[in-house]
Amino acid sequence: MRVLVVGGGGREHALVWKLASSPKVTEIYCAPGNPGIGKLAECVSIDVNDNEALCRFAKEKAIDLTVVGPEVPLTNGIVDLFNANGLKIFGPDKAAAQIEGSKTFAKNLMHKYGIPTAGYAVFTDASAAKKYIMDQGAPIVIKADGLAAGKGVVVAMTLAEAIAAVDMIMCDQAFGAAGTRVVVEEFMQGEEASLLAFTDGYSVVPMISAQDHKRVFDGDQGPNTGGMGAYAPAPVMTSVLLDKVVREILQSTVDAMRQEGCLYKGCLYVGLMITADGPKVVEFNARFGDPETQVVLPLLKSDLVMIMEACNDGKLDTISVEWKNEAAICVVMAAGGYPGNYGKGDVITGIEAAEAQGAVVFHAGTRKQNDAVVTNGGRVLGVIAVGADIMIALKKAYTAVEKINFAGVHYRKDIAYRAVARADN
C-alpha cells in the first residue's frame, strides 16, 4: 500500500521510520519531509497546512492511507476533507480535534464529565482575568485558548508574572487569535508524565508511558521549549496508575467525546500531572506528541499500519498490540539560543557515526544545502537509543550524541534524571 505522512519534523521521521517497517507498505511519501525522512520516503514540497493540495496529491497518487503529524491540519479539517473524497486518513476530524484546538472546549468537557483536571476559569476580557488572578494568588497558570505551537502556556510563580502573561497573550496578541480567550488554571504540584493512546472512538489502547523534558536547561531550568528530550517507559506511571489513567481519563474522555457527537478516532495524547490526589489532566493533544513519539514507536512490536487501520475501521478491540520490554531515550540536539533567537544553515557532522553506535537519529529541523545537511530549526535532531533498561539506553544515547556536532549545538545532559534517581534508590 501507498502511505502519505503529513509533516516534516522529528515526530514525522519517527512515524515514517516505523511505517516503513510494515510489510504492508510499498511506498511512502512525506509532505514536506526533511533530509532524514528522504532516506525512507519520497519528500513532496506541499505545505502541511494546505489541505486541498494534500488531498489532490493523495488522489493523484492513489494513496491508501494518510497519517497526519501536526495539529493544525487536523483542527483545520483535513480528515473531513479526505473522508469526503473517499480517502483513508488516520486522525480525528475537525469536531474531535477541538480537544486540542480549544483549551476551553477541553476544560469544559472534563468539568462536565468529571474527568480530573486543575480548577479553572475562562476569560475574554483581560481586566476580568487579572482581577481573578489577584483574587486567586500565585503560583497560577495562564494558557492561550487556541493553538500556539506549544508556547501559549505560562506557569507564573508570582502575581507580576501572571499579570504580564495576560498582557502578552491578550493585549499584545503574542499568539494572534489563539489568545483572544485565556484559560486561567490552578497550579498543580507533582510529577508530569505523557500517555498516548490509540482509539477507534470506542476502545482505547494505551501506548508505553513517557516523560518529556520541557525546560531548556539541565535541572528543569530556563524557559519552556517544545521538548528537549524524552524517555519511555516513565517509572512514575506504575501499572496501577496506568490502569487508573486509562479507565478514568482516556476511556472517559473518548466516551464523553462520543456522547458530545464527536467520535474520536486516531491518537489521543494526554499530558498528566501525578499529584497527591492522583493523576490529573494538564492538556490533551489530538495527535502523536513530540518528542514522545520518538521514544514510544521504537518500543512498538506490532505493525503500526495494522493498528491504524483497526482504529479507522472501528475494530481496535479485535487486535493485539504488543510492546518490547525495553527502554528508549531521546536526546534533542538544539540550535544555540533556542527557544529564543537561533541561527540556521550550520553544517551538521557525525550523524552516520552516531548511527554506527546503534542509535537512530531522527531529523527535526534540517535541510539539504549542496551535499551537506544543515540546521533549519530550533530542535535540530533527536538521537534515540533503545536498551534493556534506562541506564543502558542512556549510555548508548549520549555516546551517539557525542559523535554529532554543529555550531552552537545545545542539548540537555540530564535526560531521564528522575528515572535514574529512582534506579539509584
Per-residue 3-state assignment (H helix, E strand, C coil) for the chain? CEEEEEECCHHHHHHHHHHCCCCCCCEEEEEECCCCHHHCCEECCCCCCCHHHHHHHHHHCCCCEEEECCHHHHHCCHHHHHHHCCCCEECCCCCCCHHHHCHHHHHHHHHHHCCCECCEEEECCHHHHHHHHHHHCCCEEEEECCCCCCCCEEEECCHHHHHHHHHHHHHCCCCHHHHCCEEEEECCCCEEEEEEEEECCCCEEECCCEEECCEEECCCEEEECCCCEEEECCCCCCHHHHHHHHHHHHHHHHHHHHHCCCCCCEEEEEEEEEECCEEEEEEEECCCCCCHHHHHHHHECCCHHHHHHHHHHCCHHHCCCCECCCEEEEEEEECCCCCCCCCCCCECECHHHHHCCCCEEEECCEEEECCEEEECCCEEEEEEEEECCHHHHHHHHHHHHCCCECCCCECCCCCCHHHHHHHHC
In the chain, the domains with their CATH numbers are: 2-93 (3.40.50.20), 125-180 (3.30.1490.20), 191-318 (3.30.470.20), 327-424 (3.90.600.10)
Give the pairing of strands 379-387 and 360-363.
Answer: antiparallel
In which order are the strands placed within the sheet that holds 153-156? 120-123, 182-186, 140-144, 153-156
Predicted confidence at residue 405, as pLDDT, reads: 98
Q: What is the distance between the alpha carbons of residues 85 and 59, in angstroms, rounded to a whole number?
A: 8
Judge residue 341's burial from the number of C-beta atoms within 10 Å of its C-beta, 0-12 exposed, 13-18 middle, 19 or more buried: exposed
Taking CA atoms, 346 is separated from 11, 34, 318, 354, in Å, by 22, 16, 49, 18
In angstroms, the CA 105 to CA 111 distance is 10
- Whats the size of the chain, residue-wise? 425
Instruction: Enter the C-alpha cell of residue 227.
Output: 521538548
Q: What is the pLDDT of residue 422?
A: 86
Q: What are phi and psi of 120, to 5 degrees?
A: -160, 165
Question: Which residues, 6+ apart, have CB-to-CB distance to 399 below 8 Å?
Answer: 357, 359
How many CA atoms lie less than 13 Å away from 302 in the CB half-sphere? 17
Given this model, what pLDDT does residue 113 score? 98
Which of 416, 350, 423 shows the shortest CA–CA distance to 209?
Answer: 416
- At residue 325, the pLDDT reads 97
How far, in Å, CA of 52 to CA of 68, rounded?
14
What tens digit of pLDDT does each residue of 21-64 get? 999 999 999 999 999 999 999 999 999 999 999 999 999 999 99
Q: Which residues of the chain have pLDDT under 50?
A: none
The average confidence (pLDDT) of the chain is 96
User: What pTM was estimated for this model as a whole?
Assistant: 0.96
C-alpha cell, 156: 507564573
Tell me the C-alpha distance between 358 and 374, whole Å.
22
What pLDDT does residue 375 have?
98
**How much is the pLDDT for 152?**
86
* Whether the Cβ atoms of residue 1 and residue 14 lie closer than 8 Å to each other: no
Query: Phi and psi at residue 397, in whole multiples of 5°?
Result: -65, -50
